Amino acid sequence: MQSYTLDQYIADIRQIASDESDNSKITDKIKPLAEKITAERGWFKAQYREVDDEQGFGLHLLFEEENHDLAVFVIAWAPGKGLAAHNHKTWAVVSGIEGQEHEVNYTRRDDGSKPGFADLAVTREETLYPGKAVCCMPEDIHSVWNNGQQVAVSLHTYGRHLNHTGRSVFDVDAKTESPCVVKVKD
């Protein structure tokens, strides 16, 4: 049996994104493919476990369209590190490869009309393990933390490169919202 390759995965997500306009249909179709590609290890490189010490995580860009639509990353999270509450402003499919990532989901209680202000409430928590995939819609807000003892690694597929969406990061306690930009390794 022939293995599922990264090139096939990218071709498949390109086709799905061109055939569908509904974000939930896109993510529903990509989710099993993300689980399939993370089960294959031929494409995975040891360098994908590297973490940027300043950020506490490392973003490894595997693919991005020239216009920044469709981006695929491997993200490595150092133990006890993560990213505070944030949105993506694009659809996302995340599939666990190694370790574990704890995700806290939030709902926004304010209407978003006051710049720099956001009042969030926790709605759900779950831990992502290898072989499991989750989907996010553009306005979903969540935080991600590696709650394990080893580097956690996951595959992230986005409808648009994260640094080109105008996404936000939130301080839940201070009730603030600010731009979220992260360093990416090519």
- pLDDT for residue 41: 84
Residue 175 — left, alpha, or beta (φ > 0 → left; ψ -120 to 50 → alpha)?
Answer: left
Q: Residue 18 burial (CB < 10 Å; 0-12/13-18/19+)? A: exposed
Cβ atoms of 170 and 84 within 8 Å: the answer is: yes
**CA 159/CA 140 separation, integer angstroms:** 14
- pLDDT for residue 181: 78
Q: Report the alpha-carbon angle 78-79-83, nearest 5.
A: 60
User: Does residue 1 carry a pLDDT above 70?
Assistant: no
The model carries a pTM of: 0.93
- For residue 144, the one-letter residue type is V
E strands along 65-100, which residues?
Answer: 69-77, 82-86, 92-98
Helix axes 6-19 and 23-39, enclosed angle (nearest 10): 170
Question: Which residue, 22, 5, 18, is CA-closest to 70?
Answer: 18
Q: Quick: pLDDT tens for 117-156.
A: 999 999 999 999 999 999 999 999 999 999 999 999 999 9
Residue 109 — left, alpha, or beta (φ > 0 → left; ψ -120 to 50 → alpha)?
Answer: alpha
Q: Quick: pLDDT tens for 161-185.
A: 988 999 999 999 999 999 987 777 6
**CA 15/CA 6 separation, integer angstroms:** 14
Q: Quick: pLDDT tens for 38-50.
A: 998 889 999 999 9
Domains in the chain, CATH or no CATH each: 6-185 (2.60.120.10)
Residue 186 banded pLDDT, cuts 50, 70, 90: low
Q: Quick: pLDDT tens for 70-124.
A: 999 999 999 999 999 999 999 999 999 999 999 999 999 999 999 999 999 999 9
Residue 30 banded pLDDT, cuts 50, 70, 90: very high
Average pLDDT of the chain is: 94
**Total Cβ atoms within 10 A of residue 10:** 17
